[in-house]
Amino acid sequence: MKRNLSRETRMALEPRKQPRQERSSKVVDRILDAALTLTREQGTKTPTTLAIAQRAGLSVGSLYQYFPNKEAILLDLARRWLSSFPEVIARRIEVTPPTNRDEFRQEVRKLFIDTSKIYLENATLMPVIEAISGNADLRPIQDEYDEQIIALYAAWLQHVNPALEDKIASRLGVLMMDVGHACRLVGLKRDRKTYDLIEDDVERMWLALVTPYLNLD
Amino acid sequence: MKRNLSRETRMALEPRKQPRQERSSKVVDRILDAALTLTREQGTKTPTTLAIAQRAGLSVGSLYQYFPNKEAILLDLARRWLSSFPEVIARRIEVTPPTNRDEFRQEVRKLFIDTSKIYLENATLMPVIEAISGNADLRPIQDEYDEQIIALYAAWLQHVNPALEDKIASRLGVLMMDVGHACRLVGLKRDRKTYDLIEDDVERMWLALVTPYLNLD
DNA sequence: AAAGAATGCGACTAATTATTCGCGTTTGTC
DNA sequence: GACAAACGCGAATAATTAGTCGCATTCTTT
């Protein structure tokens, strides 16, 4: 039975039940591991329930003990990543805003380093993120997170320059996110040295993007 | 019957036969129109053959008179877009290379304007492009085009600065393409005024990305 | 060790959808 | 206007896959 995720099930992406016995929490881990490995192997295509079960050494039925549907498995993998973004950006808004060009440059750099760290720490998850973006059912959920992240980038910009108009802040926010994301995905597929070079590239681009809008002397 | 596009059919994405009678070339147009409209309506998800046929006022069977499979329809829509990129970049390599910072800035601007034009002229196709990227079967084909485009960006960079190492050129090429693509997709979803502002943003970013690697006085 | 709860199983169901094929209809040609 | 080729049709086929359900096994508790 093909489900209509968009309707009822969207509400039900939470784990179906908590594992009560020790063996079963290991099972949950095995399911998540299998889903991750398969997604990495297959590139964009999301793995089938059967494939996940087999790779985890389980039967399909067991999947549904802990997850209400296939999407929930992938989403579980992505959630930590998706939610660490808002946290990190929010933390960069708490500090006192910069007052001159040099301090400002420093603030960009800090935000930049912090976000980069998220990508490096979650490098193995990237194929899942890409798969989610390419999946018609999961895309909307990621979009919700993206909205949040954009809003926070915009808030950060207005924190750095309180005079910045909302409209401009949100436009620059989107671009910061998308440019950062696109470039870092490229970077993570290359070797570490290239990743670092791309990081420098992104930093220059961010600065070029944002500087004209921060009328600092 | 679900087909295995990746194997045999990949070779057979060409139209199955040329329309011989007048009515039928109109049919081909109707099919393409329907596919385009539906893709635009549905966002990421590619339309089903039945939906395309119905929207075109045809039966499924008629689709297969002219297209070997569903993918070929979408690809037909995307092809003009995909192939106009190489043309445009190649044309920018034919001119005499710039010799000073100002001429160089001009060259970036020209490449930039030309590529922007492709996006504006094909704005209605963008949902198809996005759908193709999200489709496991079609992605590889787009990737081939992307390779080509990246190589041309790299060639352009080396045309502008012949001393530029291959490795650096190809890295910057990828980033130019991806940054341009990501930002312009955002731009086309906004109003024209915002699109133009984003264009300025992209130009600044391109310049910031590329300038350090072009040791001009 | 026995009961009952939790977990695991996998054949089965059912939805979805790409593609085919034989037949009826339209069109172009002489 | 007759003949053949081209076109159009849509029911039927077949592949794929998400999710269920009743039974089997394992664990926990007393």
Q: Assign domain B17-66 to its CATH architecture.
A: Orthogonal Bundle (1.10)
Partner A, chain B 108-147, Cβ-Cβ below 8 Å: 133-136, 139
Alpha carbons A21 and A35: distance in angstroms, whole number: 22
Chain C bases having any atom below 7 Å from a protein CB: 5-22, 26-28
Q: Assign domain B76-213 to its CATH architecture.
A: Orthogonal Bundle (1.10)
A168-189 burial, b at 16+ Cβ within 10 Å, e below that, comes to bbbbbbbbbbbbbbbbbbbbbe
Task: Locate the domains of chain B by residue range.
Answer: 17-66, 76-213
List, in sequence order, the alpha helices (H) in A44-165. Answer: 49-55, 60-66, 70-93, 101-121, 126-133, 139-160
Alpha carbons B173 and A194: distance in angstroms, whole number: 13
Indicate yes or no: CB of B43 within 8 angstroms of CB of A183.
no
Residue whose pair of structure tokens reads 């109109």 in the numeric block: B26
Alpha carbons B10 and B99: distance in angstroms, whole number: 45
Judge whether residue B215 has pLDDT over 80: no
Cβ atoms B47, B39 nearer than 8 A: yes
Judge whether residue A5 has pLDDT over 70: no
Which pLDDT does position B21 carry in this prediction? 64
Residue whose pair of structure tokens reads 């084909």 in the numeric block: B141
**B106 close to A (CB below 8 A):** no
A174's tokens: 């989107």
Judge whether residue A99 has pLDDT over 90: no
Which pLDDT does position A183 carry in this prediction? 98
Closest chain A C-alpha to B85 CA, distance in angstroms: 19
Closest chain B C-alpha to A84 CA, distance in angstroms: 23
| Residue among A47, A194, A198, A75 at smallest CA distance from A140 | A75
Which pLDDT does position B50 carry in this prediction? 97
Q: What sign has the CA pseudo-torsion A184, A187, A189, A191?
A: negative
Judge whether residue B105 has pLDDT over 50: yes
Assess whether B136 (CB) lies less than 7 A from strand D: no
Judge whether residue B157 has pLDDT over 70: yes
Mean pLDDT of chain A: 89
Which pLDDT does position A61 carry in this prediction? 95
Which pLDDT does position B122 carry in this prediction? 96
Residues 140-169 (A) near nucleic chain C, CB < 7 A: none
A161's tokens: 């320059």
Assess whether B17 (CB) lies less than 7 A from strand D: yes
CATH dotted code for A10-71: 1.10.10.60
Which pLDDT does position B14 carry in this prediction? 56
Lowest mean pLDDT segment, chosen from A1-15, A125-139, B111-125: A1-15
Judge whether residue B10 has pLDDT over 70: no
Task: Kindly list the distances between the CA atom of residue B65 and the CA atoms of B21, B31, B46, B75, B170, in Å, as whole numbers in the listed order.
Answer: 13, 11, 20, 16, 42
Indicate yes or no: CB of B171 within 8 angstroms of CB of A194.
yes
Which pLDDT does position A137 carry in this prediction? 87
Judge whether residue A18 has pLDDT over 80: no
The pLDDT-based confidence of A57 (bands split at 50, 70, 90) is: very high
Q: What are the CB-based long-range contacts (under 8 Å, 24+) for A57-65?
A: A57/A30, A58/A27, A58/A30, A58/A31, A62/A27, A62/A31, A63/A31, A64/A16, A65/A16, A65/A17, A65/A24, A65/A27
> Which residue in chain A is spatially nearest to B205 when comparing CA positions?
A205
For domain A77-213, say whether CATH 1.10.357 is its number: yes
Closest chain B C-alpha to A183 CA, distance in angstroms: 6
Judge whether residue A15 has pLDDT over 70: no
Judge whether residue A78 has pLDDT over 50: yes
Judge whether residue B97 has pLDDT over 80: yes
Alpha carbons B104 and B98: distance in angstroms, whole number: 5
Which pLDDT does position A190 carry in this prediction? 97
